[in-house]
Homo-oligomer: A and B are copies of this chain.
């Protein structure tokens, strides 16, 4: 059997430097655990635009479709702010999500005990926090037609986007949420605005349908998205799995990530349907962005990207034990007090560089 293939897309900003640390970890797993990948690397986002005039070439898209898993760093930066919408770095990422049909975006919001004091929330509110947000990723207002900006016929303009969800789109992401819940605390909370949006009514009804017909054993509740934002702030540990649409998921998962105080630590997985080999199409990326302000200075925290590799081991390669090994190494390094500058707070110890953090994790392995 050939080695499983891994496509690495470092992207922009701190993407390349955190990805360099991930490669050290990949090498360790090949040497020590017999887990060899065929690794290839390519461009995405602003880096691809600079080289090819597009944030994702068709060739890269083809490679991503064939890869057993894609690992992405981050895209975007102020340098590209004035580019036309159609070639902005974000379009590269959105094209990957859409064409690979990665409909389920898993965003764990976990609070690392060693870092609970970094949260702006009280320690007792966030300590031990472990929520899984499942965000629909290939439909909704990000992709619905009609869309665009046109003349309004009265000397002004009109901007339009369309929120559009079908039964199938809602049911399949709901299934992902229920499956995850079964392996966790068996509770799903679905969020929408069914009180003002018909697409929200459909969302609620279809999630309920999947529950009643396929997952009656899982506890399901519904919440309006505004109330959900409130409850995430008030008492985040009331949640186990949250399932919501593309746009609400974008905002709520970012809020949830920030609650934990562990933003530089949080990975994500975007999963699609199973391929011929049984593995789901998959893309893994840190929740944090490209952080152009600190790029190239050795200040970036590579942990979110390294933990994205752990998610890949778990969800793409069925190596839950190796994933746990890697996660354990990260926790040990944190417990030992190794800190990149974002994790330093008021402490006066010297900050570890990006590369030192990567080395420490490999050493802990």
Return A260 CB to nearest CB of chain B, in Å: 10
Per-residue contact bits, chain A 166-204, to B (CB 8 Å; 1 contact, 0 not): 111000000000000000000000000101111111110
Return A261 CB to nearest CB of chain B, in Å: 9
Given A121-B122, A147-B198, does the pair A166, B156 have CB atoms closer than 8 Å? yes
Docked complex Cα distance between A88 and B164 (Å):
22
Check A149 against B195 for contact (C-beta < 8 Å). Answer: no
Docked complex Cα distance between A230 and B260 (Å):
11
Docked complex Cα distance between A143 and B63 (Å):
42
Q: Which residue of B lies closest to A90 (CB)?
A: B195
- Chain A residues 226 to 266 lying within 8 A of chain B, measured CB to CB, are 226-227, 229-230, 232-235, 247-248, 250-252, 254-255, 257-259, 263
Docked complex Cα distance between A247 and B168 (Å):
25
- Residue A160 lies at the interface, judged by CB distance under 8 Å to chain B: yes
Q: Which of A125, A164, A200, A263 has the most CB of B within 10 A?
A: A164
- Residue A165 lies at the interface, judged by CB distance under 8 Å to chain B: yes
Per-residue contact bits, chain A 252-293, to B (CB 8 Å; 1 contact, 0 not): 101101110001000000000000000000000000000000
Check A157 against B166 for contact (C-beta < 8 Å). Answer: yes
- Residue A2 lies at the interface, judged by CB distance under 8 Å to chain B: no
Q: Which residue of B lies closest to A148 (CB)?
A: B198
- Residue A152 lies at the interface, judged by CB distance under 8 Å to chain B: yes
Docked complex Cα distance between A202 and B147 (Å):
12
Given A230-B255, A230-B258, A233-B120, does the pair A201, B90 have CB atoms closer than 8 Å? no
Docked complex Cα distance between A185 and B79 (Å):
30
A interface, CB within 8 angstroms of B: 76, 85, 88, 90, 94, 120-122, 125, 141-142, 144, 147-149, 152, 154, 156-168, 193, 195-203, 206, 225-227, 229-230, 232-235, 247-248, 250-252, 254-255, 257-259, 263
> Beyond the given A232-B255, A233-B255, could you list 10 further A-B residue pairs with CB under 8 A, ordered by the A residue number?
A88-B195, A120-B121, A142-B197, A156-B167, A163-B163, A229-B229, A229-B252, A230-B255, A233-B233, A255-B255
